[in-house]
Amino acid sequence: MNANDFTAPAAGRIVRTSDGAAAFVPSPLPPDLALSWEMLNAITHAERAVANLRGVGATLPNPHLLIAPFARREAVLSSRIEGTQASVGDLVAYEAGNTPADAADVHEVANYVAALDYGLERLKEFPLSLRFIREVHERLMRGVRGGSSNPGEFRHLQNWIGAPGSRIADAKYVPPPVPDMQEALDAFEKFLHAPSHLPALIRFALIHYHFEAIHPFLDGNGRVGRLLITFLFHTEKLLDHPLLYLSGFFERHRNDYYQLLLNVSQHGEWAAWIAYFLSAVTEQANDAVRRASTLLALRQEYRKRTTSARSSALLGAMIDRLFALPAITITAAARELDVTYRAAKMNVEKLVASGILTEPATGRNRVYMAREIIDLLEAP
């Protein structure tokens, strides 16, 4: 990392690691921001998009019809930013019991879903805090690549960001050394809890940047930072249900995502990062509204497709279950719906005949897939 690239003293300071390499320590939040008319207009657009999505959530007959599939889409896209190649189809098949030949990527994505679920449940009784973040990290990194790097513990070693296999001397960015990191984390937590006159979405942009600049874990920082955005929307009650995720935008504009975060540290370019973040909120909220409408319309179509004098309430329950997890085995259907194997098999076969499920190849523990639902979640 070249210390001369960091030209904004207000953004942070350059220090030296124990090896003499330059490292960056971000200044405590908040920075001195001038909210231009352009930025205020972007805030208004983003807040309106979030309000529209909140309205959609309020009309859902069952919020879990969208909460679960949206969470799985986010898990795939957030993990893809870090280089995993698993798809939504891979994830739901894995969750249904189909272990792929190379399960490492899918396991990481499944852990993301588990960490998200854990965090949302934990927030019912525990505040957003450094301890909470460590707990989420432990769940995210449990039993996966990088999981040997002290899951749930802030780092005790220096890390850096660069090409795979690069040395600290060649790093693009070097986060704070451990003693400075601990001070920066204290300031980070103080800002999390402090009253603020700033609009909530601006605070979220600042918090995400600050966490990524501190980079407090040896692995998993990006994913935890993006999970943190979801938890902020939840704790600030901007949404009643966790339906907004930004990783789709970040993944589509990945180079800008990394560069704009770095530009804040190097040049204090807060306005460009905040504008990017607000665009992400607006685009992803609008996308969630459209995707929700399409999924709910598909649910209605499935119900019409299976309506007959001989259809049962069980069939409707199975359809709703497929929107939460669009892959199923007969054994799982029997267990989850509390019916006999024979009854589950009969209804699964009806869904196959209706074109809702695709029948797998012969074999044990056959996983039936709701391909149309999966395709809607995988669509750009």
As a three-state string, the secondary structure of 175-232 is CCCHHHHHHHHHHHHHHHHCCCCCCHHHHHHHHHHHHHHHCCCCCCHHHHHHHHHHHH
Residues with Cβ within 8 Å of residue 319, at least 6 apart in sequence: 299, 302, 303, 306, 351, 356
Neighbours of 295 (CB within 10 A): 18
Q: What is the pLDDT of residue 314?
A: 82
pLDDT number for residue 359: 87
Asked if residue 29 lies in contact with residue 191, where contact means CB atoms within 8 angstroms, the answer is yes
Secondary structure letter of residue 169 according to DSSP: G
Backbone dihedral angles phi then psi of residue 323, each to the nearest 5 degrees: -75, -30
- What confidence score (pLDDT) does residue 310 get? 58
Closest by CA position to 81, among listed 331, 250, 277, 280: 250
Which ranges of the chain have pLDDT less than 70? 101, 146-148, 308-311, 362-364
125 CB burial (10 A radius; 0-12, 13-18, 19+): exposed
Give dist(CA 304, CA 325) in Å, integer: 20
User: What pLDDT score was predicted for residue 237?
Assistant: 94
**Of 246, 204, 209, 234, nearest to 78 (Cα)?**
246
Burial class (CB in 10 A: 0-12, 13-18, 19+), 189: middle
Domains of the chain: 3-290 (1.10.3290.10), 306-378 (1.10.10.10)
Instruction: Select from 265, 228, 200 the least CA-distant residue to 27.
Output: 265
What is the pLDDT at residue 309?
A: 45
Alpha helix segments (H runs only) across 59-87: 64-81
Q: Is 30 helix (H, G, I), strand (E, B) or coil?
A: coil
Rounded Cα–Cα distance for residues 325 and 194 (Å)? 39
Q: Are 3 and 16 spatial neighbours (Cβ–Cβ below 8 Å)?
A: no
Q: Which amino acid is at 175?
A: P
- What is the model's pLDDT at position 363? 63
* Bridge partners (DSSP) listed for residue 12: 26
